[in-house]
Amino acid sequence: MTAAPRRGARRVSLARRQSRLYWAMLAPALVLGGSLILYPMYLAIDLSFTDVGMVTLDALGDAERTLENYTKLWHDERVRESLLLALVYTLGATIPAFVLGLITALLLNKRFPGRRILRTLVLLPWAVPTVLAAIAFLWILDASYGVFNYVLRSLGLIEENIAWLATTDTAMIAVIIPTVWKIYPFFTLIILAALQAVPGDLYEAAAVDGAGPVRQFTAITWPVIRPACWLSLILQGLWTFREFDIIYPMTGGGPADSTNTLAIKVFNEAFNQFNMGFASALGILTMAVGALAIAVFYRKLRQQAF
Going from N- to C-terminal start, the domains of the chain cover 3-35, 78-305
d(CA 52, CA 289): 24
Residue 141 has pLDDT above 60, yes or no: yes
Q: What is the pLDDT of residue 81?
A: 94
Task: Give the dihedral sign, CA 77/80/86/88.
Answer: negative
Q: How confident is the model at residue 221 (pLDDT cuts 50, 70, 90)?
A: confident
- Least reliable range by pLDDT among 32-46, 120-134, 268-282: 32-46
Structure pTM?
0.85
d(CA 56, CA 263): 23
Other Cβ atoms within 10 Å of 256 Cβ, number: 10
Map residue 29 onto helix, strand or coil.
Answer: helix
Residue 226 has pLDDT above 70, yes or no: yes
Q: How confident is the model at residue 259 (pLDDT cuts 50, 70, 90)?
A: very high
Q: What is the pLDDT of residue 146?
A: 87
For domain 78-305, the CATH class is: mainly alpha
d(CA 265, CA 273): 10
Side chain identity, residue 181: W
Residue 42 has pLDDT above 80, yes or no: yes
